[in-house]
Amino acid sequence: MTSLLQRLSAERNRRFVGRGRELEIFLDAIASRELPFHILHVFGPGGVGKTTLMQQFLRFCERSKISTIYVEGRNIEAAPESFVSTLRSLMGLNESDSPLHVLAQRQERNVILIDTYEAITQLDEWLREVFLPHLSVNTLIVIAGRNPPSSGWCSDPGWQALMHTLPLRNLTPEESQTYLTTRDIPTTQHQAILDFTHGHPLALSLVAEVFAQAKEISFQAESAPNVVKTLLSRFIKEVPTPLHRMALEACAVIRLTTEAALNQILTVPQNTLAGEAHSLGEILDIHDLFEWLRGLSFIESGQLGLFPHDLAREVLIADLRWRNSEFYTELHRRARQYYTKRLGQTQGQEKHRVLLDYIFLHRDNSAIRSCFTWGEQSSLLTDSLRETDKTALLGMVAQYEGEESAKIADHWLKRQPQNVVVFRDLHSKPAGFAMMVALHTATVEDLSADPGALASWQYLQTHAPLRPSEGATIFRFWMARDTYQAVSPTQSLIFINFVQYFQKTPGLAYTFLPCAQADSWTAMLNYFDLTQLSETDFTVGGRHYGVYGHDWRIVSPAAWKEILARKEVTTAGESVDNTSVGEPLLVLSQPEFVEAVQNALRNFSCPDVLQNNPLVRSRSVEEQVATKASMSETPKDTQLSEKPDSGHLRDACGGQSQRVNVLQNLVKQAVESLQSSPGDQKLYRAVYRTYLNPAPTQEQTAELLDLPFSTYRRHLKAGIRRVTDILWQREIQ
């Protein structure tokens, strides 16, 4: 008759998947004539499957008739006497017998499994120096815990030679799907579960149990708070203070955590200390807080900062969004401010990293998550075009887009080499590139040689004509050497460069982005406020390309950032607002702009009339309003209780009255600027006395200025022209 123990073992074995490499290492070791190592140290975060693997080791030993002792660290006191007493009991020895003496005398292969080692770390030195060295040479000791070997093991040359470390990671996507299949989870739900669990064994098990009990139609982390709570307890036993919890949550929200980032993002409110607002560093040594994060088993230390394991990040964010969505939003706001400040302080490769940190804040949205690689760093370097690169770049184009496209790329390499960015690997070879063709500087012959550039240029002429000093760019060729336009580190860096390009390029009015597989990018590019323009689609060499575009005069970079800020905390199940903040901007031709300025001067003191002036929806006014909104975004009191100041929910672009006020100030500044030039002072007086501080009639204004009426009119006309020129240059530049 089959026993319950046998059924339990069979069921556990049936659900065991993966770990092929780890099992192979163990099996090879116990089967070898001479042990290749005596310590096998398995480590990984809570719930990653250490105990399950140890039990599998135990089953293999039992099948091979190898004597095995299984010590569960959490069940014993962290004292030598308790450890020895536990061994004596597990080995069935008498009270007077010495477990160490018995183990030392064994001639046959035997294994000691010590699980949950972090519970008895106080025994680490005693085991290393006193107990383990006296065991038989035929003994394999397997240690499993959350933390890697301590420095005592690593600094000892003897133990270095006799120890094998085995970091335990999550299951692969294939292994995870196999597990879900064994648990009878519908295949339609696999991807959503994998996106959340990242192959973490405990998470997979808990989610499978949710399906088994509730038969949910779809899985979302927010809909299973008990799963999140259980996982959270596995990762974090306890958090010392609310400040530590804030730091942990900040670490989950941002891509990489540094001491500087923590110091900027975390603050303590006025009412906490009955005084002025303080940085966290003034209350708690920021270094100590950073070191606490660094010591957590699910936090990894990279070259540029700390970051949580993928599932730990998912769990922390899911818990925070469910428990206190307001503070989740507040952390995003603080991080966004920090990165905005950093963008103004950095250049080159560092700016690329900060931009990736900035975009990472959008990672929780499914439209963005799958379209970037979010690794800690990339080995790629951004560089300008070298003459020796051309063969490699044209080879990429020919490989992925055909010889006809390669000829077009060759044309632009000769015509606009300065607009090519090359991404180099560790050997300085091109791993990818991007070519930004300036349409406004291209000749008719240039455009006629390229159907893609020509289609975009014709669209501009019909739908969005450029004004003087404005430019338009088509990101004509962009690809990675090994993966073309698929998601990859190179593709991610290309997109980061596109963002940097339109932020730093003066006078940029329109950008076009052609894609070989246009439909696959729709969700992400729409999220970033790029619209698919079917009229600009083109075909080269039998290959079709869809094109996305954005008019930066209608939605300026400042307004664009505000749009993204609103979307930042949305998720897959929430709607994404693609509308502009406030009304869209107006792109006025120069004659229309002149007429609007004249109207603004005539009605300078009539706010009700100015509300209908086209200039209140101009780029100049929009940028001023956005700047004022950004400056007022920081609340005077930052809430330690994890409740953000409601001020950050204000309308980013302000009301119509604010726009009128901004327009009046811009007009006034333009008029007053005439005073700086001796030759323009007479023009200033005519405009000022006519519109800003007017007399009842123009005749009386001429008398006040002690000028003949014809002279006054000439000065006024010239002054209006100068004011209009000043405002126009500001608008288009």
* pLDDT band per the 50, 70, 90 thresholds, residue 278: very low
- For 379-417, b/e burial (b = at least 16 CB within 10 A) is ebbbeebeeebbeebbebbbebbeeebbbbbebbbebbe
DSSP designation for 127: I
What pTM does this model have? 0.63
- Per the rule left: phi > 0, alpha: psi between -120 and 50, beta: everything else, 206 is alpha
Percentage, residues of the chain above pLDDT 90: 44
CA 326 to CA 569: how far, in whole Å? 10
The pLDDT tens digits for 626-657 are 767 655 554 444 444 444 333 333 343 446 88
The pLDDT tens digits for 477-491 are 999 999 999 988 899
Residue 3 has pLDDT above 70, yes or no: no
* pLDDT band per the 50, 70, 90 thresholds, residue 669: very high
Residue 281 has pLDDT above 50, yes or no: no
**Per the structure block, which two tokens stand in for 98?**
């010495």
Sheet holding 163-167, edge to edge: 67-72, 110-115, 139-145, 39-43, 163-167
Reported as type and span, the H/E element at residue 438 is strand 430-438
Please give, one letter per residue, the 3-state secondary structure of 267-282.
EECHHHHCCCCEEHHH
* pLDDT band per the 50, 70, 90 thresholds, residue 343: confident
Mean pLDDT of 255-279: 66
* pLDDT band per the 50, 70, 90 thresholds, residue 379: confident
Alpha helices in 505-556 (DSSP H): 522-527
CA 551 to CA 644: how far, in whole Å? 34
DSSP designation for 257: B
Quick one: pLDDT at residue 367? 76
* pLDDT band per the 50, 70, 90 thresholds, residue 4: low
The pLDDT tens digits for 407-435 are 999 999 999 999 999 999 888 999 999 99
Q: How many angstroms separate the first and last alpha carbons of the chain?
A: 87
Quick one: pLDDT at residue 566? 80
